[in-house]
Amino acid sequence: MSRMVLRGAAVVTAVAVAAVIAPALREDEAPYTRARKQMVAQQIRARGIADPEVLRAMSTVPRHLFVPRHIKPYAYEDAAKPIGYGQTISQPYIVALMTELLKPKATHKVLEVGTGSGYQAAVLAEIVKEVYTIEIIKELGEPAKKRLADMGYEKVTVKVDDGYYGWPEHAPFDSIIVTAAATDVPPPLIEQLKTDGRMVIPIGPPGRVQWLKLVTKGEEGPPTVRDIAAVRFVPLTGGH
């Protein structure tokens, strides 16, 4: 894997991080708009992300409103950032890569496991019809729900729960994205994926290098699994 991918998706160890995320208040947005355009040009498009809808979404969503206040000036840097409770908002390139791998369409219904601050869900909501997202940490999930609603992302439905088991009430899903590393592909998520659906998930041991995998479900037989890139994510937690 490239050093860039590993650095950008690096896990931030548990430290005392303010959990208050910057609210969507009116302010001088010009510096952030410039930083966002530069992020897309230099970090995303230049590294091969070509889907026009993904590029548009990454150019639209104000990433600085999904990080703690003191991190706002650094929100568009080429790195993951801490959002509190031992969790991170992924590197912009990784967000774009995982989104593009799903091949999202305007008619799609997507499940996200690991809401975090809500940034990935917002990016998806710029493209697809419906986003269902699950966060196991209440202190992150509840603020993310309010933040996304306040920002007008009506397509996103947030639930605080154990994402390993998916959201069967709204299945099947056209695609599933998991933003924390599991030790294997959760069987409930495979069951809730449509035929020909796509899942992007990091697999590997906690605190070590993992592999971002693309899982494709066929009509018969086991799903096809393809390695995409070496990454490092926080672990998927829960009752499993």
CATH number of the domain within which 89 lies: 3.40.50.150
pLDDT at 29: 84
* pLDDT at 195 (0 to 100): 96
Known catalytic membership, residue 117: no
Q: How many domains does the chain have?
A: 1
Structural domain harbouring 85: 3-15+25-231
Indicate the SS3 state at residue 71: helix
Q: What's the confidence (pLDDT) of residue 27?
A: 53
Do you find a cis peptide bond into 223, omega within 30 degrees of 0? no
Give the residue ranges of the chain where pLDDT is below 70.
Answer: 1-27
Is 239 a domain residue? no
Domain presence at residue 238: no
**pLDDT value at residue 162:** 97
Residue 134 in any domain: the answer is: yes
Give the pLDDT of residue 14. 34
Predicted pLDDT of residue 221 = 81
Structural domain includes residue 122: yes
On whether residue 222 sits in a domain, the answer given is yes
Report yes or no on 170 lying in a domain.
Answer: yes
Among residues 2, 59, 90, 175, the one annotated as catalytic is: 90
Q: Are strands 87-89 and 210-216 parallel, antiparallel or unpaired?
A: unpaired
